[in-house]
Chains A and B, each alone.
Chain A
Amino acid sequence: EIVMTQSPATLSVSPGERATLSCRASQSVSSSLAWYQQKPGQAPRLLIYGASTRATGIPARFSGSGSGTEFTLTISSLQSEDFAVYYCQQYKSWPPLTFGGGTKVEIK
C-alpha cells in the first residue's frame, strides 16, 4: 500500500498571501496524483489531477507540481473561500486508493 503523507497538518495564512502545501508518497506514483478541497459540511471537490492539471472550473490561482514522490499544491493568493482542508490522493497503484491525512488552511 502506498502511504501518502501531507504537511503541515495546519497552515495559517493571511488572505492574499501564498500557501504551499506538500504531499509525499511512500513510493513513486509518477504523476498519478490528485488534490481535493473540502469545506466544512461539504463533499470534497477535485482541484488538480495528473499532479498539475486543473480540473474543470478551478481558478488559475491553484497550481500543482511534482512527480514521483514529492508534490506541491500552491494557492498563489488566498481568497476567503480557499480556507478549507486539502487532501492529496494517489491513483498509480491500487487497490487501495490512498489519501493523505489532509492539510487545514486557516486564517492567520
Chain B
Amino acid sequence: QVQLVESGGDVVQPGRSLRLSCATSGFTFTTYGVHWVRQAPGKGLEWVAGISYDGSEKYYADSVKGRFSISRDISKNTLYLQLDSLNSGDTALYYCARESGAHGSLPRFDHWGQGTLVTVSS
C-alpha cells in the first residue's frame, strides 16, 4: 500500500536550517508529483512546495520562496525539503502528500504522511 513517512523535524533556533525527509513506498515514485503542506499549531493547511512527477518542475509558496528548497532522490524514493533561514512563522507540522493522479494530473492529494514537527524557537 502507498506510504509516506516524514522525518527530520526538530526544535531549532531562528535563522538556522533543517532538512526534512519523506520516504515513500507502494507506488512508482517517478510517476507522481509530491508536495509539502504544513499546518501551524491549531491552524489550517498551507501548501508549501511541490515537485512534478518527472522532477523537472519545482513550485513554492511565496512565504518560503528563496528560503526552502524541494528535491528528491529517485534511487531512495525519498522527497526532501531543505528549510533555511527559519523563523517563528515556520513552526508547523509538515506533511508530505502525493498527487492523486499520475503523470502530472491535477494536484489534489490522496495520500498523506503523518507529519513531522518543526519548532522554531530561541
Contacts and interface: CB of A to CB of B under 8 A. Distances in A.
Given A43-B112, A49-B100, A55-B100, A100 B106 contact: no
Contacts of B44: 87, 99-102
Interface string B88-108: 000000010100100000111
Interface string B28-40: 0000000100000
Nearest to A92: B106
B106 A91 contact: yes
Contacts of B95: 43-44
Contacts, number: 60
Interface stretch (B7-15, B16-24, B58-66, B78-86): B58-66
B46 A44 contact: no
Nearest to B110: A46
Contacts of A59: none
Contacts of B113: 43
B74 interface: no
Interface residues of A, number: 24
Interface residues of B, number: 22
B115 to A, nearest CB: 6
B27 interface: no
Contacts of B108: 34, 46, 49, 89, 91
A43, A94, A99 interface centre (most CB from chain B within 10 Å): A43
Nearest to B113: A43
Nearest to A96: B61
Interface string B47-70: 100100000000111100000000
A32 interface: yes
Given A43-B95, A87-B44, A95 B109 contact: no
Contact of B107 (A43, A87, A91): A91
Interface in A25-74: 32, 34, 36, 38, 42-46, 49, 55-56
